[in-house]
Amino acid sequence: MPVKIETKDLTVSFGDVDAIKNVSMEIFTNRVTAIIGPSGCGKSTLIKSFNRMNDLVSNVKITGQVLLDGENIYGTNYDVVTLRKKVGMIFQKPNPFPKSIYDNVAYGPRIHGIHKKEILDKIVEENLKKAALWHEVSDRLNSSAMDLSGGQQQRLCIARALAVEPEVILMDEPCSALDPIATAKIEGLIRTLSRDYTIVVVTHNMQQAARVSDYTAFLYLGKLIEYGLTKDVFENPQNDLTEKYLTGKFG
Amino acid sequence: MNRLLDTGLERLTAMLLQMGKVAEEAVRISIESFMTGVDVYERVEQLSDTLVRMNVDVEDKAFELIAKYQPVASDLRIIKSYIKISNDLERYGRYAWDISFIHKRLANFEKCEDPLAIIEEMGEKVISMVQVSIEALKTHNSELARKLIETENEVDALYFRHLDHSTEMPMSSRCLITNTLVVRYLERIADHATYIGESIIYIATGEKVVLR
Ligand SMILES: Nc1ncnc2c1ncn2[C@@H]1O[C@H](COP(=O)(O)OP(=O)(O)OP(=O)(O)O)[C@@H](O)[C@H]1O
Ligand SMILES: [Mg+2]
């Protein structure tokens, strides 16, 4: 199974708090990997370490390695601009720019130097289609993204992320602000996108992890407790902590 | 901490253990009465009908819990296995019914030579297997469940011995058919006891074993 991202003995600390402790794991290419675990266990910290988003925090200390396609992204020569292009991120709260729908999707390509209208038109249409939003917005591309519903805004953010042609998409609780119907659409989208992208999704919703992911990682107090095929983790967890967490017998 | 699911699981377990009691009685009295020549057809039919109804109830309850709580891990294994075990318990009742039916319909021991020795031996083993399977179920005891395989092998050996011998036995076809059918039902009951054993091992360890 081809590996897209590999962490080697990764530790991430904020001051004297170790948010991630010695995590070594492989994220497989074109598969959906779910990261689950109780609040504060380090899910967001782990996923952010995949595109160096933790670097922005002042008192952070990172040891170990994160390899993307075999290259250490924390290596001195690694180009963070390339990294951010290759690894896109979707957040819990949809965060479209206060611009038109069109400009949201065209934003990344423009930054990367694409300005021809025909090309941008094509990119916008293609990625809105990939994000399963095109049919709902094709007649009002120039109206404000802020007028869309929460679920539509989240799909717009996905279209915006896709427009820069990433290889990996990180999602941190992408559905937790959405209603069940919008959630179902995002879940369907995650499955469809996994044909072409490597997806890592953090979720608090066990059933969602079971529905959308191929692999599941269970984190507890910053440690990787269990990691394996979702089917196996949910049917027959090997670690007692995983069992307790999944069945709601925690604490 | 008590989860909402726990109340449902407790109820489901109680239903299954009640089925176990009924099934054990059906198997035991059908075999014992066959040996002593007493007709218990009606009683066993009652018990078997009860098991058919209870099996439906267990299935309904199990699916209700799945739909409501979307159980995973050991909860899911328990519910999945209980549906299967409930079906095995129903089969206990059905084969017990078959035995008592054959007894009522065909048996005529005065004319049979030494017909009962093998059935007596198999019958005892099968009753004990049924009891062990239900005991293992009560406590999800996978060690006990694994023990079923020994008796299962002995029952199988007796079954094949009967088949081999029966082709040479100088007895009337009536005796032969009666005994062969009963031996076959006993062999089936033993198989279902083993299936229950497999389910219990799955609940307790997650391991999918075939004990046959
Ligand atoms: N910027 C920061 N500064 C200091 N501590 C932080 C920072 N970010 C996270 N932490 C700490 O690191 C640990 C892990 O936090 P993280 O946000 O990764 O958890 P999480 O699993 O995503 O939780 P949740 O499910 O609530 O989103 C926590 O103890 C948290 O307080
Ligand atoms: Mg988080």
Q: What is the mean pLDDT of residues B71-80?
A: 96
Asked if residue B87 has pLDDT above 80, the reply is yes
Picking from A20, A71, A23, the residue whose alpha carbon sits closest to that of residue A41 is: A20
Question: Where on the phi/psi map is residue A2: left (φ > 0), alpha (ψ -120 to 50), or beta?
Answer: beta
Write down the pLDDT at residue B212.
78
**What CATH superfamily is the domain B4-205?**
Phosphate transport system protein phou homolog 2; domain 2 (1.20.58.220)
**Ligand 1 centre distance from Cα of residue A74 (Å):** 20
Write down the pLDDT at residue B1.
62
Q: With an 8 Å Cβ cutoff, are B3 and A248 in contact?
A: yes
Write down the pLDDT at residue B172.
65
**Ligand 1 centre distance from Cα of residue A45 (Å):** 6
Write down the pLDDT at residue B113.
62
Query: B71 contacts in A (CB within 8 Å)?
Result: 247
Domains of chain A as residue ranges with CATH: 3-95+167-246 (3.40.50.300)
Q: With an 8 Å Cβ cutoff, are B1 and A207 in contact?
A: no
| Pairing verdict, β A168-172 and A32-36 | unpaired
Tell me the torsion sign for CA atoms A177, A179, A184, A185. Answer: negative
Mutate to test the interface with B, among A229, A246, A250 (most CBs of B within 10 A): A246
Q: What is the mean pLDDT of residues B175-204?
A: 94
pLDDT tier, B111 (very low <50, low <70, confident <90, very high otherwise): low
**Ligand 1 centre distance from Cα of residue A120 (Å):** 38
| Inter-CA distances, A230 with A206, A233, B38, Å | 11, 5, 56
Write down the pLDDT at residue A83.
95
State how far residue B128 is from chain A, nearest Cα, in angstroms: 31
Of A207, A210, A235, the CB nearest to B77: A235
Note the pLDDT tens digit of each residue in A146-168. Answer: 999 999 999 999 999 999 999 99
pLDDT tier, B2 (very low <50, low <70, confident <90, very high otherwise): confident
A251 in contact with B, Cβ within 8 Å = yes
Write down the pLDDT at residue B77.
96
| Inter-CA distances, A229 with A20, A95, A216, A226, B211, Å | 22, 31, 6, 10, 26
Record the pTM: 0.86
Asked if residue B109 has pLDDT above 70, the reply is no
Of A206, A210, A243, the CB nearest to B74: A243
Write down the domain spans for chain B: 4-205
Q: Give the amino acid at A206.
A: M
A206 in contact with B, Cβ within 8 Å = yes
Please choose from A10, A17, A200, A208 the residue to mutate so as to test ligand 1's pocket, defined by most ligand atoms within 8 A of CB: A17
Please choose from A44, A47, A218 the residue to mutate so as to test ligand 1's pocket, defined by most ligand atoms within 8 A of CB: A44
Q: With an 8 Å Cβ cutoff, are B73 and A248 in contact?
A: no
B70 in contact with A, Cβ within 8 Å = yes
Tell me the torsion sign for CA atoms A220, A225, A229, A235. Answer: negative
Compute the distance between CA of residue A15 and CA of residue A149 in angstroms, rounded to an integer.
Answer: 39
pLDDT tier, B164 (very low <50, low <70, confident <90, very high otherwise): confident
Average pLDDT, consecutive stretches of 10 residues, N- to C-terminus, chain A (251 residues):
97 96 98 97 97 92 97 93 94 95 97 94 96 95 96 96 97 92 92 96 95 97 98 95 93 68
Compute the distance between CA of residue B90 and CA of residue B81 in angstroms, rounded to an integer.
Answer: 14
Q: With an 8 Å Cβ cutoff, are B73 and A249 in contact?
A: no
Residues with CB under 6 A from ligand 1: A 14, 17, 19, 37, 39-45, 57
The three-state DSSP-derived secondary structure of chain B is CCCHHHHHHHHHHHHHHHHHHHHHHHHHHHHHHHHHCCCCHHHHHHHHHHHHHHHHHHHHHHHHHHHHHCCCHHHHHHHHHHHHHHHHHHHHHHHHHHHHHHHHHCCCHHHCCCCCHHHHHHHHHHHHHHHHHHHHHHHCCHHHHHHHHHHHHHHHHHHHHHHHHHCCCCCCHHHHHHHHHHHHHHHHHHHHHHHHHHHHHHHHHCCCCCCC
| Pairing verdict, β A32-36 and A198-202 | parallel
Mutate to test the interface with A, among B6, B66, B68, B72 (most CBs of A within 10 A): B72
